Every structure is written in structure tokens, then in C-alpha cells.
Amino acid sequence: MMLENSNSRDACARICLARMQEPVPDSGNGIYLGNTRIYNIPFLFSSEEMMNRNVAIIGMSGSGKSFLLKSILAKSAVHKNSTILIIDWNGEYRDMVEFLGGRVMPPEQVGKSGIPKVGDIASVDFSLVADEARRVQLCNSVFRNIMRLMRGSGISERGEERIIVLDEAWRLVRGSADVGSLFREGRKYRFSIIAATQLINDINNEIISNSASLFLFRMQNESDYGQLMEAGVITDAEKAAISGLEIGSCLVSVAAKRNGGAQSRFFIRRVNGVQIFNLAITSGKMKTTISRRALDAALKALDVDAAVREGLSNWIFQAGGEIDCKAVIGSMVKLGIERRQIVCFLRGLGVNDRHIAISYGAAASGA
């Protein structure tokens, strides 16, 4: 067979060029959320590189949407020092906020406390209000205060990321008419508004149309798919694919600036998330919850060799969950840490002197 070189237009016209099936935006400074389903490409998500910073996460209960949202928040707080305010209807984010050294406040406190300071994380816990009707009434007050505080904060400096999270967004939309304004105006002040919901039909279309980034997990109702198809968000083929997704898999639809705002859609095989490390030290009926920041500060304050500090840190993280105070003391003694240092360390974690003394006695007696 003889091959000939050709630069003719006819030959060029015969070459088939197809659009890549997974047009993943190339972001070098985003947070890693998982790999694509077909080509296994790492997806680094960066809301500031999208046409706007708003995000909508939609999926039925147990599909993985809360895991994704918590992962975005935890990674943003740790790696990007983001300022985060969470509107938490069911108190689901309390452990994560406390673990990251943030504060949990009732809805009535929003106007007094204001937007968290740069790098801080806080949540407004509606579960602290027992009466359901009262919760709904408080929505309007909360959103008026957030809008006022957002407008008063001015436009954020370049590189500073400020996030407002609406969990169970459909409940909040029902209770407040200001959610649409929050999505419209948030982009002007460089806020990232993230809404997570189970029910598309119960949220304002304004949220979808003002979100440059959508994460779609498996949905419960046929009408949810219908609404997305009617809005041109997904196709028939994508609807079929989403309805068969496993837990933790989702369709990502993003409009990146570098692509001129053109929509890119692809599937993530499984969300790469963060399991929040919950730590508490117990002694009898006493239980002291420890935040990550408090633990880091207490470890840093220990006047010991780096290898000893690392050994203690590894032991604590491997033990995890609830740790008996006497076990902590025993581990520190084995590492050669002096009693004075052990007492200071436990005090730094918030354990009171009485329980330190009781635990020391139990550790010494082997009880």
C-alpha cells in the first residue's frame, strides 16, 4: 500500500473532529472533588473561575449531596481560609462547625453577630427553635439581616472568598422572599451562595438560573427531572443517566469564564469528600467536645520534641470519636510526657481540673 502526503482541502474535510465528551474546566487552584467518569480526569472546583460564584446542589435524601456540601465547606475553610456562614435548618452542620473551631448561633443572634470575620466559620442553627411556625417566621428576619450585613460589608477583596450556605433551601424559600435577592446580589458583592435541596419544585427558578455551578445527584420525583429538562439544564440522555446514579455520583454542570460562559457537563464517578473528625474527651459523665483548632493549639503548646508531638497527634487521630481521659493520660505517659505538660494539654482542650485529677487516679491505679 502506498501512502502519500496531502495537504488538500478535500483530505482535511474528511478528518472527523469531535467535541470532547468531558469538557472539564482546567482550574489549577480549585479544591479536588473527584474524578470524571469516562476519562478519570481530576476535577478541581473553583467558584471564582465561574461566571458567578453561586452553586446549587440537588438530590434526594441519601444521594450524597450533604457529603459534597460539607466537603466543599471543610476544604474551603482549611485550604482557602474562606469565610463561611451556614443557614442550617436541622442542625446538621453543628459538629462540623465546632470541629473547625467555628460558632453555632440561634437565628435571633444573626443581626447582632454579623457576618463572620475573615477566615471564620459560623452557622445559624434553626433546630434550636422548637416551634416549626416560629422557625418559618424567623426566616424573613434572618434574610433581611444577612442582606443588610452583606451590603454593608462591601465588595470583597480579590482572593477573599465569602460563602453563605442555604441547607434545605426549599424550607428557607418558603419562609422568605429575599432568597432570590440574595442570589442576584451576592455575585455583585463577590459572595458565593450555595443552596442544597431535595425538591426542585419547591425552590425558586431564580436560584437555578443564577447559579453558574450545578451538582445534580439522583432525584426522587419525575417532576424534578421535567423541570430541569424544561429549563434546558439536562437532556433526555442525561436524565436517564442521573436516575441510575449510585450514591456519591453526580452530574456537574458549570459555566466557566475561560470558556466564555459555555456550559460544560460531565459526571463525577464518586465525590471525594472529607469525613469530619469528631473528637470528645470523656471522664465518667463528663464529655468535652474538642474542635480541630483547639486540638492543634494544644498540640502546638506542648513543650516536647516534634517526634513526640507527632506520635501523640497520630494516636489521637487513630483513636478518634470519644476518648476516655485516662486513655489520653496513659498514652502521653508512655510517650514520656511529664505530668505538668499533660495537665496543661488537657486544660487547653477544656477538660476541668477535677476530671483531670480523677482520670489521673484511674490511670495510675489501672482502673
- Structure confidence at residue 95 (pLDDT): 79
Grid cell for residue 229: 429538562
- Structure confidence at residue 202 (pLDDT): 64
User: Regarding the domain delimited by 31-268, which CATH topology (the fold level of the hierarchy) does it fall under?
Assistant: Rossmann fold (3.40.50)
Q: Which of 116, 31, 125, 115 is nearest to 74 (CA)?
A: 31
What is the model's pTM?
0.71
- Structure confidence at residue 285 (pLDDT): 80
Exposure b/e, 31-63, CB count within 10 A at least 16 = b:
bebbbbbeeebebbbbbbbbbbbbbbbbbeeeb
Instruction: Give the separation between CA 50 and CA 55, rounded to whole angstroms.
Output: 10
Instruction: Give the separation between CA 195 and CA 69, rounded to whole angstroms.
Output: 9
- Structure confidence at residue 173 (pLDDT): 62
Instruction: Give the separation between CA 1 and CA 17, rounded to whole angstroms.
Output: 26
Contact 90, 114 (CB under 8 A): no
Where the chain has pLDDT below 50, the residues are 1-3, 6, 12, 15, 17-19
- Structure confidence at residue 251 (pLDDT): 96
- Structure confidence at residue 101 (pLDDT): 83
- Structure confidence at residue 336 (pLDDT): 93
- Structure confidence at residue 213 (pLDDT): 94
- Structure confidence at residue 17 (pLDDT): 45
Exposure b/e, 298-318, CB count within 10 A at least 16 = b:
bbeebebeeeebebbeebbee
Contact 116, 76 (CB under 8 A): no
Instruction: Give the separation between CA 59 and CA 10, rounded to whole angstroms.
Output: 49
Give me the residue spans of the domains in the chain: 31-268, 279-365
- Structure confidence at residue 18 (pLDDT): 46
Contact 118, 155 (CB under 8 A): no
